[in-house]
Structure 1
Amino acid sequence: MEFNFGFGKKTVNFHVKDENLLGEILPKQLEVGLVNEAEVKRAMESPIGTKKLKELAIPGKKIVMITSDITRPMPSKVVLPIVIDELRAAGVKDSDITVVFALGSHRAHTEEEKKYLMGEELFGRIRCVDSNVKDYKHLGTTQGGTPVDIFTEVAEADMRICLGNIEYHYFAGYSGGAKAIMPGVSTRAAIQANHSRMVEAEAKTGNLDTNPVRQDLEEAIQYCPIDFIVNVVLDKKKQIIKAVAGHYIKAHREGCRFLDTANKIEIANKADIVITTPGGYPKDINMYQAQKALDNAKHAVKKGGIIILVASCAEGLGEKVFEKWILAAPTAESMIEDIQKNFELGGHKAAAIAMVLKNSKIFLVSELEADFVRKVFMEPFRDVQSAVDQAFAEQGKSAKVLIMPYGGSTLPVSK
């Protein structure tokens, strides 16, 4: 059977014999009503747990809208105009609105990237800035010891509106909701303190209620309140099939429930070989982002099996501390031991990859140099078919295969 995967801004093809194929892990085909702009407008008219935004907004007040950076698939250029139109209906002037791109620990944007995220018309109308980890206000400390250090423009705003997309997150449970603030517009020290709880057993994909990372970041909102959220769920074509608006927990949880109906996929058996991809640009822009697909794929592969990760990684590893940890480690196992003794933001993703390597090999199909890939404990390939053929050579001609074309967003769950 032939398959086609996203790879950067293009696609790549490969085939697997039908007799070897256990199945393809795809988002469920849901019957949806409205999509894209129409679905966002519906959600805005039916907010969960709050009044409508146009009833909450006060003209003359300083309003910030926090949205995702270029590494996220959040369609800001679709959602922002709708939210801004509602603010204008309340009498809010464009000059009182600032859009803040939540960088977390990621790099700053170019002006062209900001224009891409905003859309050309809004880019010329509404002020937009990147968050800055060095420009912050300390607002308090959570019970877990996380400093609530928030980008000054957000901390000083009169009203905060958070936008985001909801997908699975390998230790916060799900993206979206309060994550726009913590870690989105927080300092590196704050992010590090919150993320240090990833080593706890309940900090895992698809868990909310007992997840220590999620509990901590939502507690931070007591010190930096969110007035309104608009979160979306995307299908495999990256169109909006569900939007939720309103209270930062109540609306977010409704979005998470919808995601589970679409993307939590039961599998009868684990596979000897799992072939996965984050889904192309921007999710495979670097290894730091592509790691999410690995973390979901680990739930589908047998112990001693092989995961083939198809990810361009055109920008390399993508984060300096992550690069330091993974290149300096003598063995993959040492990263797990080190993160438990000395948690460091960036090192946490290196340790997460090492946890996958404890159970299975990783074949990496990327644009990275072969020697560099070997240094990060993976086996390098330039094309998918070569990786598939080598995996069968190692696992045997009768090896069973699962395909994950949307590895960053689909969560395999054993029956």
Structure 2
Amino acid sequence: MEFSLGFGKQSVKFQIDQKNLMGVLEANKVSVDSMDGEEVERALKNPIGLPRLKDIVKEGEKIVIITSDITRPMPSKIVLPLLLEELYEAHISNEDIKIVFALGSHRKHSEEEKRYLVGDEIYEKIECIDSDVEDCTHIGITSAGTPVDIFRPVVDADRRICLGNIEYHYFAGYSGGAKAIMPGVSTREAIQANHSMMVRKDAKAGTLDENSLRRDIDEVAKMLSIDFIVNVVLDEKKNIMKAVAGHHIEAHREGCKFLDQLYKIEMDHPADIVIVSPGGFPKDINVYQAQKALDNAQHAVRDGGIIILVASCKEGLGEHTFERWMTTAKSPDEMIVNIQKKFELGGHKAAAIAMVHQRARIFLISDLEDGFVRRIFLEPYGNIEEALTNAYCVLGEDAKVLIMPYGGSTLPVVKNS
């Protein structure tokens, strides 16, 4: 049987014998009444836990809209025009609006990338800026000890509107909601303090109120108010299936419930081999981003199995501290020991990959050079068939294969595990 997986901005095809195919982990079938712009418009007119945005903001107020950077699939250019209509109905002028790209610890954008994210018309009439970890205001400290240091233009605004897409996050539980503020527009030190809680057992994908790290993120909004959110859930082709708007907790949680209906998938037993793709660009832009799909895949593979990660990673590793950890460690185990001794932002993703190594071997099909792939403790292959052939040699010709075409989105849950 022939299959196709996203790889960068293209796709790769491969064959699997029917006797080996355990299945394809795809989204659950969920019917919706509206999609894309129509769905966003519905959400804006029916906010959860708050009045409509046009009834919240006042003429003359300074508005900041925080949205995702280029490493996220958030369709800002669809959501922003509809959001702006609400602001214009309240007589907010373009001069009083600022769009901030939440970089977190990621690299800055080029001007072309900013234009791409919001579209030509909005880019020409509204100021669009990257968050800057060097230009932050200290607000306080959370009960968990995380410093709340936020990008100054966000703090100085009269109103803060957060945009984002909701998907599973391997230690924050879910993306979206207050995550646009922490870590989105926070300092590296603040992000590091929050993310250091990833080593706790309650910090895992698909958890919220019981997740201490997520509670720390949400607590930030008690110190710096979030006036409105618009979050979306995307299907495998990046179409908007669900939009939620309104209160940063109530609306976000409703979006998370829909995500579970769509992407939390129960399995009777784990697979011997999992072939996983983040879904193509931008989720496989670098190893730092592709790690999320790898982390979800580990929930579907048996102990001692093999994960075949199909990710372009055209921009390399993607973050300088992550790169240092991945290229200087003597072994994956060393990274786990080091992160337990002293947490370092960037190193946390290296340690997360090392933890997957404890469960399964990791084969990588990418645009990276073979020597470099081996240097970061992954096993390089030129194509999926070649990787599968070797996996069968290791695990047996009857090994069962599970395919995860959108590994960053789907969360496998093995029953009674």
TM-score range, shorter chain: over 0.9
How much does 1:392 deviate? 1.0
Q: Which residue of 1 aligns with 2:272?
A: 272
Structure 1: distance between partners of 2:255 and 2:31: 16
Q: Over residues 199-233 of structure 1, what are the superposed CA-to-partner deviations in whole Å (9 max), with x where a residue is unaligned?
A: 00000000001101100011111111100000000
How much does 1:383 deviate? 1.3
The question of whether the paired residues in 2 share the 8 Å contact of 1:232 and 1:255 is answered with yes
Alignment map for 1:250-261 (pairs within 5 Å): 250-261=250-261
Query: Is 1:119 matched up with 2:113?
Result: no
Q: Which residue of 2 aligns with 1:237?
A: 237
Structure 1: distance between partners of 2:382 and 2:131: 36
Q: Over residues 227-275 of structure 1, what are the superposed CA-to-partner deviations in whole Å (9 max), with x where a residue is unaligned?
A: 0000000001110010000000000000000000000001111111000
> Matched residue of 1:256: which SS?
helix
Q: Which residue of 1 aligns with 2:413?
A: 413
> Matched residue of 2:44: which SS?
helix
Structure 1: distance between partners of 2:381 and 2:187: 37
How much does 1:326 deviate? 1.1
Structure 2: distance between partners of 1:117 and 1:183: 20
Q: Over residues 117-138 of structure 1, what are the superposed CA-to-partner deviations in whole Å (9 max), with x where a residue is unaligned?
A: 0111111111110000000000
Aligned amino acid, residue 143 of structure 1: S
Q: Which residue of 2 aligns with 1:314?
A: 314
Alignment map for 1:184-223 (pairs within 5 Å): 184-223=184-223
Q: Which residue of 1 aligns with 2:386?
A: 386
Structure 1: distance between partners of 2:77 and 2:67: 10
Structure 2: distance between partners of 1:284 and 1:390: 24
Q: Which residue of 1 aligns with 2:282?
A: 282
Structure 2: distance between partners of 1:88 and 1:184: 26
Q: Which residue of 2 aligns with 1:375?
A: 375
Structure 2: distance between partners of 1:185 and 1:116: 20
Structure 1: distance between partners of 2:200 and 2:222: 23
Alignment map for 1:13-412 (pairs within 5 Å): 13-412=13-412
Alignment coverage as a number of residue pairs: 415
Q: Over residues 20-43 of structure 1, what are the superposed CA-to-partner deviations in whole Å (9 max), with x where a residue is unaligned?
A: 111110011211110000000000
> Matched residue of 2:125: which SS?
coil
Structure 2 spans left out of the alignment, 5+ residues = none
Structure 2: distance between partners of 1:344 and 1:213: 16
Q: Over residues 281-330 of structure 1, what are the superposed CA-to-partner deviations in whole Å (9 max), with x where a residue is unaligned?
A: 00000000000001000000010000000000000000000010111111
Aligned amino acid, residue 371 of structure 1: G
Structure 2: distance between partners of 1:17 and 1:323: 37
Q: Over residues 126-151 of structure 1, what are the superposed CA-to-partner deviations in whole Å (9 max), with x where a residue is unaligned?
A: 11100000000000000111000000
Aligned amino acid, residue 114 of structure 2: K
Residue identity (%): 62
Aligned amino acid, residue 102 of structure 2: A
How much does 1:15 deviate? 1.1
The question of whether the paired residues in 2 share the 8 Å contact of 1:367 and 1:382 is answered with no
How much does 1:50 deviate? 0.5
Structure 1: distance between partners of 2:148 and 2:88: 31
Q: Over residues 318-355 of structure 1, what are the superposed CA-to-partner deviations in whole Å (9 max), with x where a residue is unaligned?
A: 00000101111111011111101100000000000000
> Matched residue of 1:241: which SS?
strand
Structure 1 length-normalised TM: 0.99
> Matched residue of 1:316: which SS?
coil
> Matched residue of 2:214: which SS?
helix
Structure 2: distance between partners of 1:49 and 1:284: 35
Structure 2: distance between partners of 1:328 and 1:210: 35
Structure 1 spans left out of the alignment, 5+ residues = none
Structure 2: distance between partners of 1:185 and 1:224: 12
Structure 2: distance between partners of 1:87 and 1:382: 51
Flag as ranges the 4+ runs of structure 1 deviating above 2 A. Answer: none
Cα-Cα RMSD = 0.6
Structure 2: distance between partners of 1:78 and 1:216: 30
Structure 1: distance between partners of 2:360 and 2:413: 18
Q: Over residues 135-172 of structure 1, what are the superposed CA-to-partner deviations in whole Å (9 max), with x where a residue is unaligned?
A: 00000000111000000000111000000000000000
Greater shift after overlay, 159-168 or 216-225?
216-225
Structure 2 length-normalised TM: 0.99
Structure 2: distance between partners of 1:414 and 1:350: 25
